[in-house]
Structure 1
Amino acid sequence: MKEKIINKSAELFLNLGFKSVTMDDIANELGISKKTIYQHFTNKTKLVEETTSQMFDKICEGIDCICNTSPNPIEELYQIKMFVMTFLKNEKTSPQFQLKKYYPQIHNNLHLKQFQKMHVSVKNSMQKGVDTGLFRENIDVDFISRMYFNGMSGIKDQNIFPTNIFTMEYLMENYLEYHLRAICTNKGLQTLEKFINKTNLN
């Protein structure tokens, strides 16, 4: 039952936002009493904490799988982007904004975990790109991987990128291309162009 509660909560939080969804909403959706939820979670904050943690773990598993099977670092970053967008396909509100506003401690902890995970995977990917001649050999891999995370976090700032002007798909797609064009060699740019052209044809 605990797993069912977490899965339904994740769906509702992404769809409606962390603040908007009540314990009553979750209970009604599952056809159970609110008391049943409180048997597993002492309060809503604890439910939000465990739900976001599980969502993060699932995304990490998917990213690890992509990193282990992707043909090159350029396609790897695009595949990760597409995977994350698919995972968040039901995100109709701005759950990250609500999480930051109403559950700042959970947001801060999650943000740190995201950085630790992304920094390692992006750093490894960039080093692979340098070693295979796709990325410039003179780039500071540690610095660029941190900048990449900072940029990916920054495009979620609605004050700078309002959702009525920019979709998250558009922002992620364009930031990724912007990032790659800054670090690619000529060989890397050819690989990038080939991949973009192939994607646009599909």
Structure 2
Amino acid sequence: MENQKQKILEYACEMFFDCGTRSISMDDIAKKLAISKKTLYQYYSNKQDLIGQALKWELSHPKFSFESPKFEGLNAIERYWKFYKFISEMIKKPHHSLEFDLKKYHPELWSNFKNGKMKLFREGLRFNIKQGIEEGFYRQELNIDIVSNLLVRFYLNMWKEEYDVFSKEELMSEELNKELTIYHLHGICSIKGIEYLNKLKQN
């Protein structure tokens, strides 16, 4: 029972993120999973309930985490470089439809999801900066709160059309993401960190 409920949640989450919530019906999800709508409603009372649970699942299973066990043994610069690679893949398939639908049709769910994303991202950045300072790769005098909040502000607002400094093509380019990454790391790295970053860039 739990395995089926989990499978429904994962597939629904994937469909909502790819296509938005408005264009995906409970029928679509049932057909995708080859189950009846009756089975679907055994686990989720309605579409709103499923959307809410899918968003909670997404927050509890982030696609990237600076603290992930798979990064064990990596220093702070290496972890941030992994983040750069992850973002380079993510910007190729932005989820504008989901954000639009949540804001318009599910504002409370959007608010909770947005706040949850901000909290997780900020905590991850703080973890990375603290690690880098302890390792001597980042400058000791860094204001961790300001630096982490600046990055949260940028990454979660980079698609806002009212701030169209870059074209959509530029925003989706790895070149822009790489320049931002190098710009950020050069700003927070110590001399030791800069030396290590230069070696990393050459590989």
Task: Please report the TM-score for the alignment, with normalisation by the length of structure 2.
Answer: 0.80
| Unpaired runs of at least 5, structure 2 | none
The one of 174, 178, 181 equivalent to 1:176 is: 181
The one-letter code matched in structure 2 to 1:16 is C
Contact 1:66–1:76 under 8 Å retained in 2: no
Alignment of 1:30-69 (within 5 A): 30-59=33-62, 62-66=65-69, 69=72
Partner of 1:144: 147
The share of aligned pairs that are identical, in percent, is 26
Cα RMSD (Å): 2.8
Contact 1:155–1:171 under 8 Å retained in 2: no
The one of 8, 21, 25 equivalent to 1:22 is: 25
CA deviation after TM superposition for structure 1 residue 158, in Å: 4.3
- For residues 59 and 168 of structure 1, do their structure 2 counterparts lie closer, same or farther at Cα, with a shift above 3 Å needed? farther
Please say which of residues 74-83 and 135-144 is displaced more in the overlay: 74-83
Task: Please report the TM-score for the alignment, with normalisation by the length of structure 1.
Answer: 0.81
Alignment of 1:106-145 (within 5 A): 106-145=109-148
The one of 71, 89, 102 equivalent to 2:74 is: 71
CA deviation after TM superposition for structure 1 residue 76, in Å: 0.9
Q: Does 1:194 align with 2:199?
A: yes
Number of equivalences? 197
Q: Distance in 1 between matches of 2:102 and 2:119?
A: 19
Alignment of 1:77-88 (within 5 A): 77-83=80-86
- For residues 69 and 176 of structure 1, do their structure 2 counterparts lie closer, same or farther at Cα, with a shift above 3 Å needed? same
Contact 2:67–2:127 under 8 Å retained in 1: no
| Unpaired runs of at least 5, structure 1 | none
- For residues 109 and 162 of structure 1, do their structure 2 counterparts lie closer, same or farther at Cα, with a shift above 3 Å needed? farther
Q: What SS class does the counterpart of residue 74 from structure 2 fall into? A: coil
